[in-house]
Structure 1
Amino acid sequence: MSEIGPSPGRAVLRCEALVVPKGSAAECEDAHAWNAHRAVVCDGASRAFASGRWAALLARAFLVTAFDAPQGSGLQGSAPQESGPQRCAPQLLDGWLRESRGLWAEQTAQAAEVPVYIRGALARGSAATFVGVDTRDVSSPHAGAGPLLEYRAFAVGDSCLFHLRDGRPTELFPLDRPDQFDTHPDLVPTRAEALESLAPVLRCTEGACGPDDVLLLMTDALAQWALEAAAEHGTTVWTFLEHAPRDEFGVRVQELRSSRAMKEDDVSLVRCRAVATARAVAGAPATVS
């Protein structure tokens, strides 16, 4: 992320991504993106056509699509909602969904020029899970006075966000037990006929981050393993996820796959911290993959 121009007292997200594909990088069906105020991880459904491309569309569109907070959202300056996963207002991310589907339609408009079996796959559409976080600066000019960022998080399916404070989770969202993962998670589909609105499947929660907090956004294989490891070994798993260098992380994931402690799947982890900076992130430059 590049930082341009002075703006004292600003709080932003500073993120990094660690990705370990199950095969080649070109075949990875995960996608992630972030800017100064939003971050997202998407996981393309393995049995869907071009699901990595759909995941990437969803991730990019999440960074730039405007959406309104539900009535009573703490991000609108009123009292925050009850803690824990909540059902979101039906229209909350429908604009993002329409934008993403429009981009998908543009990219697949030349379907008549591809083989018949590809046309059939395009007609059936694609799908992905997602978890995203949207933040706003609430930092005080007085050092140590309250949180830096308030956030609202959204999820469809089994991609997860874990909020850590002092090395321990304060939020496990939207799943908090390893037995909640299965082979048929809720999905964001390309076809409106499959799901017109996200209302039946969208989950959301709210929180606030201080300077030492970290938000971990991750795909399902890593999230399920983390919850299993936390139940067995306590906080060491959170220390690993919060601090592991890229090379160490990749080696550990491969070891876990080999021992079958983690399922064979693409793994993506985006680590985000709230950072008070004297230099504003101009124009919300994005990192997308």
Structure 2
Amino acid sequence: MAAILRLNYMSLSEFILIGFSTFPHLQLMFFLLFLLMYLFMPLGNLLIMATIWRETSLHTSMYLFLCAVSISEVLYTFAIIPRMLADLLSTDRSIALTACASQMFFSFTFGFTHSFLFTVMYYDRYVAICHPLRYNVLMSLCGCACLVAWSWVGGSVVGLVVTSAIFKLIFCGSNENHYFGCHVPPLLKLACGNVSTVAMDVGLVCISALLGCCLLILLSYAFIVAAILRIPSAEGRHKAFSTCASHLTVVVLHYGFASVISLKPKGTQSLEGDTLMGTTYTVLTPFLSPIIFSLRNKELKNAMKKTFLSKLYPSSI
């Protein structure tokens, strides 16, 4: 029996991504909507990075981390959305096993790097507000670079562990993946053998990483709020809160959608519902992030006006 399953595994060379084909009359609308959102994502993030690069007043650790977040976000969307857009216009939705494994590795790597960088950003705000006199020592350029590097290493380790665990499984029977990408739950449904153990191990790794980041952020925010409330002037409290507002909004969106997708009880949603819910984390959150960072961060917004709008409309700035 094991030999037969192994033979089936070796003969399986591709998956079929069903994805949005269950919405045949809406595929063109989805394509146009997701295309516009996808084009805005790199443009918005590149605008943020260019502003930080040009404005020397923004050459601080907080904006270094924001640049790193923007880069990871662009790479995360690039790992998934182009393929999703192509499938919306194509009748051939097959994807090779190697391509599927690559997509899973890069999406998990960039996605978890994103989560670790959010945690580092909140640690930076914690140090700035709760330990301002030691800020330059604790958040030196070398220290910040190390935190960014470790975030990327952590994301790569999670991506490698998850991808290795999934693609060591034996796939048999149907090769129809009822999702628009190579995500863990739909692939587990196509696998044979001791799937429950792998599912438990992968879930433990992902949930531990997400909850660990989330708890560290909440702990940092609790200390930040306590320190802000001790600031005597209302203006000082408002300025301190405003620096955290954009971070907190994006973090809530990021972890909120990730938790709904990762922790959703099995069997409570249709396949079509899973597909639509997946777009909230894959498309909607990356689309909203640069908007929130630009509009809710007064310092960054003023720098954008000074750097770019003043050149287009010199009389209005």
TM over 0.5: no
If each structure's strand is expressed as a fraction of its own residues, which one has the higher value?
1
Name the TM-score, length of structure 1 as normaliser. 0.28
If each structure's helix is expressed as a fraction of its own residues, which one has the higher value?
2
Name the TM-score, length of structure 2 as normaliser. 0.26
Higher radius of gyration, 1 or 2? 2
| Higher relative contact order structure (alpha carbons within 8 Å, sequence separation ≥ 6) | 1
